[in-house]
Each structure stands twice: as C-alpha cells, then as structure tokens.
Chain A
Amino acid sequence: MKGMKMENKKRYTAEELRRCIWRSLDIMKTVTVPILLGTIDGLGLGNARKGLRQLETHGYVVKKGGRVGGCHQKYVRAQNVPLLPPLCERCGEEFAVKICDPALKREREKEREKEGKQIEDTARAARELFYEEKEKEREKERAGRKGAADYPNEGDRVIPSELKERLERQLEGVSHDAA
C-alpha cells in the first residue's frame, strides 16, 4: 500500500512456532512472554500467548509460581520430551484443539481397533475365497488331465488298451496250446 512501511517479519507456521517455544524452554528453562518475544525473531505478543496457552492446555507447559504484580507469568516445561510431537500424546489431537481429554484418545483407539478388526475379517474372508477358488481350479485341472489320458484306470494299476488286447491274445494262445 502507498505510504505504508512493510515490516520484514518472519512468518511461522503454528507447528514451527510451538517448536521454537519448546526450544526456548529447553535452553532457558523458564520463560515469560517478553522472553519469548526476545528469543523468537518476529514473534507477536498474541501469537506468543496463543502458543503458550495451547501447550498449557495439553499439559506440556505449566505456570510457575503465582503472578506477582508487575511481573510476568513464568512458564516451565511439564514434560521431559526433547522434541515436541506434532500431535498431543495425551489426547492424540492437534495442539489447536482447545480441550485435551485422554478419553478422546481411548475412543479413537477403540474406533481404530474396530476398523482394524473389520479389515482383518474382510481380509480373512477374501483369503478363504481365494483358496477355495484355487482348489476348485486345481480339481478341474486334475479332472481334465484324467480325461485326456489314454490309460484307463483298473484298480491300482493302469494298463494300456493295446497291451491288454495283446496279453489277452497271448493268453488265449497259451490255453489252446495246453489243450
């Protein structure tokens, strides 16, 4: 805009900002909002408060001591996690969610388990069907091979028809000779 001075401020995503707050807490142990403003380049007051509030809601940060008149509220880490996870480990939700309820996580896990079971059942059924079909195919193949063969099955042994006829003829010859 004409006549307006644009500040060269760095823009942070919500996750980057929370990581920066977490890093500041790691290095300085105790932080206040003014300290965060001093250690994160281009951070605004509102965003600093918002980031701290989100971490506090999800139990990653706690207030230290009471607020004395004229002093800023101090914050310390409540969990010894070196790297801040992208989702809250307690409720499994994003940090932007304003309520951190472990029951939500349990519900989600149950849902996931249910979904997992359904998937497992479907997979098992599909597998069984596949094997059945394969078995049928194999049986068909076996049957086809028998039909095509030139050797009829006689008891345990398979005797070719030509050989059978020759043998019968020979046997007849032997019986005539004997007579």
Chain B
Amino acid sequence: MKHGTVKTKDVRRFDQGIDDLLNTDEIERMGVLWGPPGTGKTTALTLLANKYDAVFIRALGCSTVTSILGDLCQMLGYVGRDGKRMQRRTDMIEFICNRLTKEEGSNKEVSPRPIFVDEADYCFSEPKIIDALRDIYDITKCPVILIGMEEIARTIRESSKFARRITQWIEFKGLDLEDTAQVAIEMCEVNILPDLIEYIHRETAGNIGRVKIGLDKVEKYARANRLDSVSAADWGERPLYFDQPIFGRKSGSRK
C-alpha cells in the first residue's frame, strides 16, 4: 500500500468549508463538522489543521470556560510561572485575541487561523464555553470549527440563537462507491477490478478503516499469487476484515 491521504468527497468538502470561512467577507465564520465514527474525521482534521496552521483544542467531559481558555492560551504559547495559567478569564481572552491577531514580538497583523474544537459535544453542557468561543471569534474574526458526533448538529439546530452563526455545516458520510474506487486506485499497488471494488464497498459500508484493511488484504493476496489485477471471482468469499462477533443468547440467562 502507498502512504498518503486520499482527498475523498468528505475531505474536499471540509477543505472547501474552511477555505470559505477564511476567505469570505461579511459572513459569520463558524462551522460544524460531524459524522459517525470511522468516517475519517480525525485524519481529515489533522491534515487540514496542519495545512491551515490551526489551533487545536479538545473539550472534555469536565471542561469549564476557564479550562478551555487556559488550553487555548497554552496552545498559543502562554507559559505561566510553574506552568500555572492566568487567574482572570478576561486576561486569558485578551492574550488569546492578541496572539491570534498580532505577530509575536511585533505588532504586525497576521492572517486569521482557524480554531478547531474537538469533542465539541461537551461544550454544550456549559453554554458559557460557547459564548467565550463566540467572543473570541467576534474579536479576532478567526473561524471556529466545532467537531463532534452526530448529536452535535442536532443540539445546535435546537439552539436557534447559536445556529444562526454557523455558516458551514459539514457532514462526514463515509466513502461512497466513487470514493472507494479512488482509494483503491491511489493507494493500492495492484489493479483492483470494479466488481471487487463494488464488493468491498458493500461489505465495508463506507467505513474508511475497514476499506483500508480490506484493500491491504487484497493486495497481499495478489502479491502472494503473483496477480497484476484482482477481480471478485479471484477473491471469492474470503473475509475482508474481522467483524464484531454476533453472540447467541447466553444459555441459562433467562429462566
């Protein structure tokens, strides 16, 4: 297998979304990214965080406004005495805004950097966190992108006050047949015929991790059998990946 990231439709959409947030004037620069597990959110996030030099923070179940602001300060280079963070929230916001808008050591203006908040579902347990993020966005005009599971989009939709500010709604749906074919072409070093691609897509249900494991297996099979191309007939009924077991009812569990 070759190494690299395939620009699937989801990744392209995410990239376009961030680009729009950064370069379109007079829009609310907030976005939300959601999707089920195994659709490549984290990989896409890492790729684009590196591309746009983003500030990345992760919300936790126990996160508070102070802890989120403290994390942001640390990510922007604040080193307190003995590793302690600032005492006042206003000081923290001032520091964050200063670092996001001006170059360190000089007063030169810098281009806005996106802020990625992973596991943003937890931010909605304390609405003040969202308010603080909104304040930062209002002052700095740096786009804030909230990343979470499927529930996050629903939660935001229910809060109409906050939903108005979100201009990019990006859903990660997983791989469709076209994406699976693209991954097979770009990553595999043997030729995989369309019928086998269709079979892999059907079996893996668009889960990118499973597709990768399946393609790796097919490639190893082709190498072992000295095949240049593999079809569904060659592959047969071999398993593509090892799925979760389905257990029957435990004997004696019900009397």
Contacts and interface: CB of A to CB of B under 8 A. Distances in A.
A28 B71 CA distance: 17
B50 A38 contact: no
A6 interface: no
A23 B47 contact: no
Interface in B64-86: 71, 74-77
Q: Which 3 A-B pairs have the closest CB atoms?
A: A39-B46, A34-B3, A82-B74
A38 B4 contact: yes
A26 B75 CA distance: 11
A20 interface: yes
Interface residues of A, number: 16
* Interface residue SS majority, chain B: helix
B121 interface: no
A107 B79 CA distance: 24
A23 B50 contact: yes
A83 B46 contact: no
* Interface residue SS majority, chain A: helix
26 contacts: A20-B50, A23-B46, A23-B50, A23-B56, A24-B46, A26-B56, A27-B42, A27-B45, A27-B46, A27-B118, A28-B43, A28-B46, A34-B3, A37-B3, A37-B4, A38-B43, A39-B5, A39-B43, A39-B46, A39-B50, A40-B50, A41-B47, A41-B50, A82-B71, A83-B76, A83-B77
B74 A83 contact: yes
Interface string B35-77: 0000000110111011100001000000000000001001111
Contact of B56 (A27, A37, A38, A41): A27
Nearest to A41: B51
A108 B46 CA distance: 37
Contacts of B50: 20, 23-24, 39-41
